[in-house]
Amino acid sequence: MKELIETIVEAIEDKKGKNIVSLDLSGFDGAICSAFVVCNADSTTQVAAIAAGIEEKVLEKRGEKVWRVEGLANSLWVVLDYTDVMVHIFQTELRDFYRLEELWADAPATSYQYEL
């Protein structure tokens, strides 16, 4: 799982995604997966590009296909489901509105910063 998250984060960084955070949900009963990776972008075009970049890099480096993708129709909030890891790519305003990390505030979180 760690290698998958690292590959996802690398793909997000490649497309200049912002505020990348992973949440470890493995200690929670009833969690739908073991980890969330959350990021945001300032436009729907960038949200879609990040999603495509993740799919491409994970397939290339790990040989894993995404199980399900939701939200590409409007690219305001796209979710990529890799069964054990779910990736949430928000347009910035929606991430600020939904504050997904606050719902899982007790989960251990890791923040990632890319080098400019």
The Cα–Cα gap between 100 and 48 comes to: 19
Q: Residue 115 domain-assigned?
A: no
Q: Residue 16 domain-assigned?
A: yes
Q: Residue 112 domain-assigned?
A: no
The predicted structure's pLDDT at residue 115: 53
pLDDT in tens, 2-61: 999 999 999 999 999 999 999 999 999 888 999 999 999 999 999 999 999 999 999 999
Sign of the C-alpha dihedral computed for residues 44, 46, 47 and 48 taken in this order? positive
Specify the pairing of strand 85-91 against strand 109-112.
unpaired
CATH code at position 83: 3.30.460.10
Our count of domains for the chain comes to 1
Q: Show the domain range for 58.
A: 2-107
Q: Residue 116 domain-assigned?
A: no
